[in-house]
């Protein structure tokens, strides 16, 4: 009788152990399933595009210059305390560049960095201040020429990047000119205007012309009066 009771207890304990084991296994499976689901979701999100959603058919991002006005060519001095400010807005830009490069390409083919940091500024910047005289004094091996320049602005793709929807396309739509003012020379030091001699001669002739005309009129009137006396 005791043996039978012991066997029955062992069977019940085994069933309880088996049930607990199955329950633990199912729980672990559910937990693993949940973890796996979360992992897949995270993995899916992790492998998605790092850029915001760009609408289908979107145009490439562009630069619209606000300073200086682009209606006419602007002239700037290469002189102390003379700075140039270039400003712009972005249109159609869905992906902000990591950095923007601003440069001036001269008519001589040379490229000069624009700005205080070799032309490289933050990607969200919308203006830059350039001090040509400071660049001139710091770079005697590549001086700025007195000529026209084209302003170039580009993002991470470089100056020759193909336009891509949502990304900044290279810009090169503004022409400006730089010149070096000449030092003042007083007349007392012997300065002469090389192109003024012809104008001065012309001025003398023009000033003398009324007197000549008046003299001719007086001579004609005098001769007419004398002729009348002779006839009378």
pLDDT at 186: 73
Rounded distance between C-alpha atoms, residue 174 and residue 85, angstroms: 13
pLDDT per residue of the chain (232 residues) written in tens, 0 to 9: 444 434 344 444 444 444 444 343 334 333 333 333 333 333 334 444 566 688 888 999 999 999 987 666 789 999 999 999 999 999 999 999 999 999 999 999 999 999 988 999 999 999 999 999 999 999 999 999 999 999 999 999 999 999 999 999 999 989 999 999 877 777 777 666 666 655 555 555 556 667 767 777 777 777 666 656 656 6
The class that CATH gives domain 62-179 is: mainly beta
DSSP state of 48: S
Residue pair 156/170 in contact by the 8 Å Cβ criterion: no
Rounded distance between C-alpha atoms, residue 33 and residue 92, angstroms: 43
Domain positions in the chain: 1-48, 62-179, 188-231
Burial of 40 (0-12, 13-18, 19+ CB in 10 A): exposed
Rounded distance between C-alpha atoms, residue 101 and residue 171, angstroms: 10
Rounded distance between C-alpha atoms, residue 144 and residue 176, angstroms: 13
SS3 95: coil
């Amino acid at each position: 009788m005791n043996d039978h009771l012991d066997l029955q207890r062992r069977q019940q304990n085994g069933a309880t152990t088996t049930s607990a084991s199955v329950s633990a296994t199912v729980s672990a499976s559910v937990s693993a399933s949940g973890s796996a689901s979360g992992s897949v979701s995270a993995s899916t999100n992790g492998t998605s595009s790092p850029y915001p959603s760009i609408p289908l058919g979107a145009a490439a991002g562009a630069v619209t210059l606000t300073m200086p006005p682009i209606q006419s060519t602007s002239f700037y001095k290469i002189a102390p305390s003379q700075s140039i400010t270039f400003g712009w807005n972005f249109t159609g830009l869905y992906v902000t560049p990591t950095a923007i490069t601003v440069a001036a390409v001269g008519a001589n083919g040379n490229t000069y960095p624009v700005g205080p940091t070799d032309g490289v500024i933050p990607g969200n910047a919308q203006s830059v201040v350039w001090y040509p005289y400071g660049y001139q004094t710091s770079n005697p091996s590549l001086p700025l020429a007195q000529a026209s320049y084209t302003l170039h602005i580009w993002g991470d793709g470089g100056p020759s990047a193909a336009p891509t929807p949502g990304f900044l396309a290279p810009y090169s739509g503004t022409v400006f000119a730089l010149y070096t003012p000449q030092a003042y020379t007083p007349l007392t030091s012997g300065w002469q205007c090389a192109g003024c001699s012809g104008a001065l001669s012309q001025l003398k002739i023009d000033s003398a012309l009324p007197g000549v005309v008046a003299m001719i009129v007086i001579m004609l009137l005098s001769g007419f009066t004398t002729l009348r006396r002779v006839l009378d």
